[in-house]
Structure 1
Amino acid sequence: MRTMNTTARRTSTRLTTLALATAFAGLLAPRAATAQERMTVPPQEQPVVLRGATIHTVTKGTITNGTIVLDRGKITAIGGPDIAVPRGAKVVDLAGKHIYPGLIDAYSTVGITEIGSVDVSNDINELGDFNPNVRAEVAVNAESRHIGTTRSAGVLVAFSTPEGGVISGLSSAMSLEGWTWEEMSMKGAAALNVKWPDPNAQPRRGGGGGPGGRGGPAGPPPKTYAEQVEQIKGYFAEARAYRDAVKSNQSVRTDARYAAMIPAIDGSIPVVVAAEGAAQINDAITWGKAEGIKLVIRGGRDALFVADRLKAENVPVILTSTMSAPDRQYEGYDNAYATPAKLHAAGVKFAIAGGSGALYSYRLPWEAGVAVAFGLPEEEALKAVTINAAEFMGVADKVGSLEVGKEATLLITTGTPLDMTSNIIQSYIQGREINMMDIHKLFFQKYMEKIKQQAPRKITP
């Protein structure tokens, strides 16, 4: 990964994306080129009534032949067929269809990375080890092609997350509809991200000043695991001292990094700690308890080994390896597939996020679906990509379930969105009936047209 954080580079990113979009447009066949690819729609103005569908609220059961009313971006009524229709409302008959809340990706780089081989289209990592003031939302490219393909799979909310260093920065809850990042942002500082050191990793020793470590003075010696942990503790202690000084009206120089950590230290937002191994998870829990923070573990490959403690300490996990193949010789082929079911049986709270790569964010529903195939109850799998993710990341008052007062962000489907044979017919984000076109569909149209035009013609005698 490359590091980019300057205004000039972000401008370059947008110009590059525009150039790529122009190039794609020139390649499209005339018929396909006329199709609108993910046109943003304006905020909801007219009430919408969706009726006749089976409504899966997630938190309040399932309603058969249900009715849901959307007005000014909110859900204003939900229930059976007897709900009154507001004057001037658009009524949509959905008999035989299903309505689900929009899915939530709790660990995503959608909007901050585009093409892996094009450096200027990736804005993920920052220079330095400690960047708590970095907010992913300001780097989100609202024109990203990955937004359309992600939405087509039912993922309507994503937590764009910076990476790199030890304290990477703040995840931002992004609603995947809007012209700009300001319009898309739901919660700019949703969670502080910390990368916990690996006690089993072999440190890479610094070399000399020249290439390959030749010529010049030797670099600083690598830090041990204990030293890396103390570095994290020390940084949080400094941030806490800064907070206390500000609260007591002491004359202190403003420090944006420490200031950004205050909500995490106060418990207003969670601290998401990336940890895979059992020792990492255990040490992170011990540290989080001592700090008095709201801790969430992300990754959790070995969460089963510490399931009892995770449950006892009420520490949730964001799983990022549900569809992964085993990477250790002693593991069964289904180790990752079956982990969610085993954590559920152990009473551990969890969400499913899959990998962070924007290219595969559309796979999120299937990350949960494979867990169903290996023993996780379907309703729990649905919670893992809706309300659980919303609760862990502090946006459950807005999204994650279908309830009066929450944002009208939902899916209309032919069946469960966790099954790849189901179709997402239509999605609404904050009451907006979004355009369902994406680059995958656009290319499908293009190449179907190619097949049609190049098909052998029948010769009539």
Structure 2
Amino acid sequence: MKGKMIVLVLIVLFTLPVFSSDIIPGKPQEKPIALVGGTIHTVTKGTIENGVVLFDKGKIVAVGREINIPKDAEVIDVKGKHIYPGLINAFTTIGLIEIGAVRATRDVTEVGLVNPNVRAEIAFNPDSEHPPVTRSNGITMALVVPTGELIAGQSALMMLDGWTWEEMTLKAPVGLHIYWPRMTLPSRGFMFVRRSPEELKKEVETRLNLIRETFQKARAYKKAKESEIQKGVPYHDTDLKYEAMIPVLEGKVPVFIHANSSKEILSAIEWAESEGLKIVIVGGADSWKVADVLKNKGIPVILTNIHRLPSRRYSDYDEPFTVAYKLYKAGVKFCIGGEGGYYNERNLPYQAGTCVAFGLPREEALKAITIYPAEILGVADKVGSIEPGKDATLIVTTGDPLEISTQVVYEFIQGKKVDLSNRQVKLYEKYVEKYRRLGLLK
């Protein structure tokens, strides 16, 4: 048995390099860079034709037509191209999973139901093959979210280029993630265990009680730790789970509640109000049904998995595609997130594009993957639009990023010029050359 374990360890050690990206991260900006002649889509302050974006030391210095460009600046001609702020994916597990079928590369879910101390940024793999593929389509930042059955842990907003997780972390923690108990029986799907309504009700109540109990204990722990400074009060042992919840109880970190049905959303809102917590709804498939409640209470929604089937047999085929438009019409704050996976996250702009095809104004769709997620995630002072003083996190494209035919030609993350090559590009070039040598391509 011991010999088999040694062999297994050696196999894992020797195969780990196979799962690592060999793309070199960009260097910190060494001199001013001016993007000249392109169409600037600032997102918040209109569009500037034939404009200039000047940035230095990772920050945007000036935006406009008449800009004084320093003599030592690197001037990049982007005439005929378009400049956008870097896109933000507000829901993904990228960097936490490399190959789903290989257990050693999955670090997305912790054991147990209550894990508020789990931190996504620490588990993030900076050498993953997935970030290069994702960022080549303009996604420069991603909210990396731990998964679980109840209280899963805390998310982090990661920049998709860098040597280490510390270097790539833009903000952490962003929120504490709770996966609200499913309150409706699934209508289809072989993966779901069939349960009676009574069994479902009992399970839901058990899990809701566990959430309430966890927050009650966290408040008691917080009170005990605060009382330690008083004379005669004994020291209270540190508990990492409850320690991680103190910023949440103080209102410094919001709670991201994953809920889809209207029943789940309303239940989550009622609980959050009883606890006095700031929340964000993640998923939100039925959020349009309770849009008036969300608007009145100022609760934002991160819409996820736009490209999916309707959740009910009797629903219209295009229901998932129209949720964004309905929230927009109702005045609810929202953004568009990814599928919550790790390998298709490059398709984020196309999910926003689908929403445009089903009613959402194009300008709103662009905001839903730039400035709106920046606002919801608490980083709008740094990213999400092209304005002086913000991070120079930008993309230069051949056209509208919501269109599949558009290509990203330049990308900068905090002023660093990012290598846009990736494993898929290299495989494409490899087989183009193969068929060229066979005389099948010119």
TM-score normalised per structure 1:
0.87
* Partners of 1:14 and 1:141 within 8 A in 2: no
Sort the Cα spacing of 1:359 and 1:12 in 2 relative to 1 into closer, same or farther, 3 A. Answer: farther
CA-CA distance at 1:117 after TM superposition: 1.1
Sort the Cα spacing of 1:398 and 1:11 in 2 relative to 1 into closer, same or farther, 3 A. Answer: farther
CA-CA distance at 1:227 after TM superposition: 2.7
1:378-407 CA distances to partner (integer Å, 9 max, x unpaired)?
111111111111111122222111111111
CA-CA distance at 1:19 after TM superposition: 3.1
**Residue among 51, 72, 78 paired with 1:94:** 78
Separation of aligned partners in 1, 2:28 and 2:181? 44
Instruction: Find the counterpart in structure 1 of residue 18 from structure 2.
Output: 19
CA-CA distance at 1:282 after TM superposition: 0.3
* Partners of 2:20 and 2:128 within 8 A in 1: no
- The answer to whether 1:369 aligns with 2:353 is yes
CA-CA distance at 1:427 after TM superposition: 0.5
**Residue among 97, 102, 119 paired with 1:118:** 102
Gaps of at least 5 residues in structure 1 are 1-8, 23-36, 207-220
CA-CA distance at 1:424 after TM superposition: 0.8
SS of corresponding position for 1:67: strand
Instruction: Find the counterpart in structure 2 of residue 405 from structure 1.
Output: 389
- The answer to whether 1:145 aligns with 2:129 is yes
1:117-152 CA distances to partner (integer Å, 9 max, x unpaired)?
111111111011111111011111111111111001
Instruction: Find the counterpart in structure 2 of residue 230 from structure 1.
Output: 209
* Partners of 2:262 and 2:287 within 8 A in 1: yes
1:343-384 CA distances to partner (integer Å, 9 max, x unpaired)?
111111111112111110101111111000111001111111
**Residue among 194, 198, 205 paired with 2:178:** 194
CA-CA distance at 1:87 after TM superposition: 3.5
Instruction: Find the counterpart in structure 1 of residue 227 from structure 2.
Output: 248
- Write the mapping of 1:46-445 to structure 2, written as runs, cut at 5 A: 46-80=31-65, 82-201=66-185, 223-249=202-228, 251-445=235-429
1:235-291 CA distances to partner (integer Å, 9 max, x unpaired)?
112112222222333521111111111112212122100001110000101111222
SS of corresponding position for 2:242: helix
Residue type of the alignment partner of 2:203? T
Sort the Cα spacing of 1:284 and 1:439 in 2 relative to 1 into closer, same or farther, 3 A. Answer: same
* Partners of 2:20 and 2:127 within 8 A in 1: no
Residue type of the alignment partner of 1:224? E
Separation of aligned partners in 1, 2:290 and 2:347? 28
CA-CA distance at 1:11 after TM superposition: 12
Which stretch has the larger CA shift, 63-72 or 122-131?
63-72
* Partners of 1:126 and 1:165 within 8 A in 2: no
* Partners of 1:111 and 1:146 within 8 A in 2: yes
Separation of aligned partners in 2, 1:456 and 1:423? 25
1:1-35 CA distances to partner (integer Å, 9 max, x unpaired)?
xxxxxxxx99997864413459xxxxxxxxxxxxx
CA-CA distance at 1:319 after TM superposition: 0.7
SS of corresponding position for 1:279: helix
Count of residues in correspondence between the two structures: 422
Separation of aligned partners in 1, 2:331 and 2:244? 33
Residue type of the alignment partner of 1:73? G
Instruction: Find the counterpart in structure 2 of residue 25 from structure 1.
Output: none
Separation of aligned partners in 1, 2:175 and 2:10? 26
* Partners of 1:204 and 1:222 within 8 A in 2: no
Separation of aligned partners in 2, 1:401 and 1:457? 42
Instruction: Find the counterpart in structure 2 of residue 34 from structure 1.
Output: none
Sort the Cα spacing of 1:63 and 1:13 in 2 relative to 1 into closer, same or farther, 3 A. Answer: farther
Which stretch has the larger CA shift, 245-254 or 49-58?
245-254
Separation of aligned partners in 2, 1:190 and 1:11? 37
What value does the CA root-mean-square deviation take over the aligned residues? Answer: 2.5
SS of corresponding position for 2:175: strand
* Partners of 2:305 and 2:340 within 8 A in 1: no
CA-CA distance at 1:97 after TM superposition: 1.1
Gaps of at least 5 residues in structure 2 are 1-7, 187-191
Separation of aligned partners in 2, 1:101 and 1:322? 22
Residue type of the alignment partner of 1:238? K
Instruction: Find the counterpart in structure 2 of residue 28 from structure 1.
Output: none
1:93-124 CA distances to partner (integer Å, 9 max, x unpaired)?
21121110101111111111111111111111
Sort the Cα spacing of 1:358 and 1:406 in 2 relative to 1 into closer, same or farther, 3 A. Answer: same
* Partners of 2:257 and 2:279 within 8 A in 1: yes
SS of corresponding position for 1:399: coil
Instruction: Find the counterpart in structure 2 of residue 212 from structure 1.
Output: none
TM-score normalised per structure 2:
0.90
